[in-house]
Amino acid sequence: MRFSNATARDVVSDVVAEQIAIEQTQVDRVLAELDKAAGRAEAVHAEGLSRGQFGRSVETGDAEGGSLFERDALVFHAARRRTALDTQYEGLVFGRLDLDHASRSPNGHGARPGHATSGPDETREVRYVGRIGVRDDDYEPLVIDWRAPAAEPFYRATPAHPMNVLRRRVLRSRGASVVGVEDDLMVPEAPDDLVVVGDGALMAALTRSRGERMRDIVATIQAHQDEAIRASAKGVTEISGGPGTGKTVVALHRAAYLLYSDRRRFESGGILVVGPSGAYTAYIERVLPSLGEESVVLRAVGDLVDAIDTERLDPPEIARIKGSTRIRTLLTATARGRVPDAPTEFRAMVAGRAVRLEGRALDHVRSQVLRQHQRNAGTAAARVALGEAAWASLGIQADRDAKAEFVDRWEDHLEVEAFLKAWWPQVDPREVLLWLTDAELVRKNARRSLEPGEAELLAASWQTALRTGEWSVADIALLDDLAARLGPVQDEPEEERGFYEIEELDDLSSYGVTEVQPVARPSGPARSTIVPDDPRGQLLSGRLERPDEYAHVLVDEAQDLSPMQWRMIGRRGRHASWTLVGDAAQASWPDPVEAAQAREEALGSQVRRHFHMNTNYRNAREIFEYAAEVVCREVPDADIPQAVRETGVAPVVRPLGADPVATAREAVDMLLEQVEGAIAVITPQRYAAQLAPLDGASGAGPARVHVVGPMSTKGLEYDATVIVDPAEISAESPGGVRVLYVTLTRAAHRMTVLTASPGLR
């Protein structure tokens, strides 16, 4: 029996809606118990307070003291429970396990790979997994805490080691509503009564429709992925493979597995997951909800430095300069050089003697101090060294008493204090980068490390930042490098209050103040809550702190990192184990040799293990063959995986025409009829503004249509794509055809290519 596309979509939508309704019933039941638990906590809190009424006369005997302790314990534990219930309400239930205990493998891991289990009902079990445990009135578990042993299969089960799991389901919620479900099938064939939706359904359909050969392929994929997930936590694990081979999902499951298998180490040390964009980090939060725990930090390359978050990209020629280690010469000289507008000589009367230090002497003192101190931590050392230089300039020999008097006066001399504030100020790394809006200073400090014309390009790029109020992604690594050289900005010590000030503060009633309460500062990196109006203020908003170090660092799209970005991430993983995910054929960084050298410096001499994924189950074969042909013209050694799924529909190639918007809109309208999921219009910068109205986020286009730039698609996938002017995408991207290859492999089912170049397929 054949269905039209619309009928098929309706059937799939009905199945998904039915499954969401089933899960909503369970979530409603859990939330009802949560409300009852909150009521019980409130009652305990009230009882605790009632045991210590104000105004009651209390003796200091053991009984009374024990009563007060009991009261405090009740109030404390009730408050903690209420806080836990309140903070876990959002997304409380995020997982479901369907298990079958009827068949166990000899090693006790559950159903044997390749053997479908469909035993009697009493052998089946359903477990819901959530952020906290919840039980009903009969003390039966409704939700299992994700850290409990019973939840272990949710993180550790794989098709190669099912642990009795038939289906693992992820629930996506918004507030109290379940808005989506996604299944992973742990057995080659699902029992007839088990509904599977999402990518798991795709794998199940592949297995059923293609017989034993497809079963063998899927089992091989899954076994190899499982091996990578469970690899040793020590050293460096590299996961490579072409588009659609599941590298990212394997790496994320590995992060969850490590966190669960050695929670003490990785919860205390933390896991850092680095992706190419904010859209990517938002996507992976949905893939593995448990990664929302505080022990896992999700960051895009553009927000690795606290207080800064950007996705603005430099033009390729500027990004190449900023990403290369050549720029370290410029950063070093600028960080160690004179502060613009700082005084160039010191004159004062100290201990009755006229002191004069000129520019050369001041430069010598600065150089001397910076050999052993970061600039922002070297103020005290600079004061001492400056005093020594000042005494030496007087030419007085062997007079200890005179020197002691001079040093004593120097320490609290007001003119010395004022000079130090101007000559040796605390310097924010962002201010240092803004000094380089002066092309002449760039040329001077680069010391011939830049090619002709590059100084002007760099200065112009930072002028753009100063004009727009937004750093570029490439700037973040430079700021991190400068922060490592300068050290954190030091707060000035608070001035001691005089006795008269304390007296005034003790008597607040005369000022009309009846009560004063302190406001606690939030812990963690300081981020400004007030965004300045002027661009310079926006660039300097917030505070840069010393970066955290992590026990494990996971880098996705690792082939895109510049040498300077590798150095930045390396500072966060000096003692970490690593998981690296990438594909050289999709690299946006043009110099792999320099990047490899920086990567090796970041990783150190740790043991390495490598896993290669070679089967593409994202793209339909027709789409991937088109993409592979394009990339192999210029990258003949590209890692080309085998696509195992066919749709019978080839990519559509059409001329862009004189009206790009009308052509793109027509292509989108056609795809809206053909697929039920997300559609991406991937456009070079030239057409971005014109095509923006097609984006669903703007409210003008359908909700499931997204207009994105090529680099923003890294790590993402869509049901269908419209590729606008592929030649221009290659021309404007730092990786050229490699970035085009990325855009051509984002579609799972349908792809339309709109070309402005005659003859280009």
Q: What is the arithmetic mean of pLDDT over 401-406?
A: 89
What is the spatial distance between Cα 384 and Cα 365, in angstroms, rounded to a whole number?
10
pLDDT the model gives residue 289: 52
Q: Give the containing element (helix H, strand E) for 96.
A: strand 93-100
Beta bridge partners of 633: none
Tell me: pLDDT of 505 over 60.
Answer: no
Predicted confidence (pLDDT) at residue 336 exceeds the cutoff of 80: yes
Q: What's the Cα-to-Cα distance from 9 to each of 5, 111, 170, 674, 748, rounded to whole Å?
A: 6, 33, 22, 9, 16
The pLDDT tens digits of the residues spanning 640-672 come to 999 988 889 999 999 999 999 999 999 999 999
Q: What is the pLDDT of residue 682?
A: 96
Residue 532 has pLDDT above 60, yes or no: yes
pLDDT of residue 323: 96
Name, in order, each residue with C-beta under 8 angstroms of 45's C-beta and a sequence gap of 6 or more.
74, 75, 78, 79, 82
For residues 506-522, average pLDDT:
38
Q: What is the pLDDT of residue 138?
A: 85
Interval 516-522 mean pLDDT: 35
**What is the dotted CATH code of the domain comprising 231-304+547-613?**
3.40.50.300
CB 685 within 8 A of CB 657: no
Contacts of 344-352 with CB under 8 Å at 24 or more apart are: 346/386, 346/390, 346/419, 346/423, 348/413, 348/415, 348/416, 348/419, 350/390, 350/406, 350/409, 350/410, 350/413, 350/415, 350/416, 351/402, 351/405, 351/406, 351/408, 351/409, 351/410
Q: pLDDT per residue over 714-759, tens digit each?
A: 888 899 999 999 999 999 888 899 999 999 999 999 999 999 876 5
Fold for domain 617-755?
A: Rossmann fold (3.40.50)
pLDDT score of 135:
86
Q: What is the pLDDT of residue 707?
A: 94
pLDDT of 749-759, one tens digit each? 999 999 987 65
Q: How confident is the model at residue 220 (pLDDT cuts 50, 70, 90)?
A: very low
- Answer yes or no: is pLDDT of 373 > 80: yes
Q: Which has the closest alpha carbon to 276: 709, 725, 719? A: 709
**What confidence tier does 189 reach under pLDDT thresholds 50, 70, 90?**
confident
For residue 761, the model assigns a pLDDT of 52
Least confident of 419-433, 519-533, 569-583: 519-533
In this prediction, residue 117 carries a pLDDT of 38
- Residue 113: its pLDDT value, please? 31
Q: Map 183-245 to HEC letters.
A: EEECCCCCCCCCCCCCHHHHHHHHHHHHHHHHHHHHHHHHHHHHHHHCCCCCCEEEEEECCCC
Question: Is it true that 231-304+547-613 and 617-755 share their CATH fold?
Answer: yes
Q: What digits encode the pLDDT tens for the residues 78-117?
A: 555 555 545 455 568 888 999 998 855 434 444 333 333 3
Please give the share of the chain, as a percent, with pLDDT higher than 70. Answer: 78
Q: Encode pLDDT of 412-471 as tens digits.
A: 899 999 999 999 999 999 999 999 999 999 999 998 899 989 999 999 999 999 999 999
Give me the pLDDT at residue 483, please: 96
pLDDT, position 223: 67
Give the predicted TM-score (pTM) of the model: 0.76
Q: Give the per-residue pLDDT at 506.
A: 45
Asked whether 677 and 238 are in contact (CB, 8 A), the reply is no
Q: Rg of the chain's alpha carbons, rounded to an integer?
A: 32
**Separation CA 166–CA 169 (nearest Å):** 10
Question: Is residue 144 predicted with pLDDT exceeding 80?
Answer: yes
Cα 466–chain centre separation: 25
- pLDDT reported for residue 259: 81
Please tell me the number of Cα atoms within 13 Å of 340 on its side-chain side: 12
648: which DSSP letter? S
Share above pLDDT 90 across residues of the chain, in percent, rounded to a whole number: 50
Alpha-carbon separation of residue 232 from 201, 532, 550, 556 (angstroms):
30, 47, 17, 19
Query: Mind listing the pLDDT tens digit for each residue in 596-639?
Result: 999 999 999 999 999 999 989 889 999 999 999 999 999 999 99
Average per-residue pLDDT in the chain?
82
Q: Is the pLDDT of residue 518 over 90?
A: no
- Rounded to 5°, the CA angle 474-476-482 comes to 115
Domain ranges in the chain? 17-223, 231-304+547-613, 343-424, 617-755
The three-state secondary structure class of 751 is strand
pLDDT for 119 equals 43
DSSP string, 365-391: HHHHHHTTS-GGG-HHHHHHHHHHHHH
Please give the pLDDT value at position 553: 96
Q: What is the pLDDT of residues 276-324, one digit of tens each?
A: 888 888 777 655 555 545 678 899 999 999 899 999 999 999 999 999 9
Chain centre to alpha carbon of residue 224:
26
What's residue 320's pLDDT? 95
Contact at 8 Å (CB) between 41 and 14?
no
Can you give the pLDDT at residue 46?
57
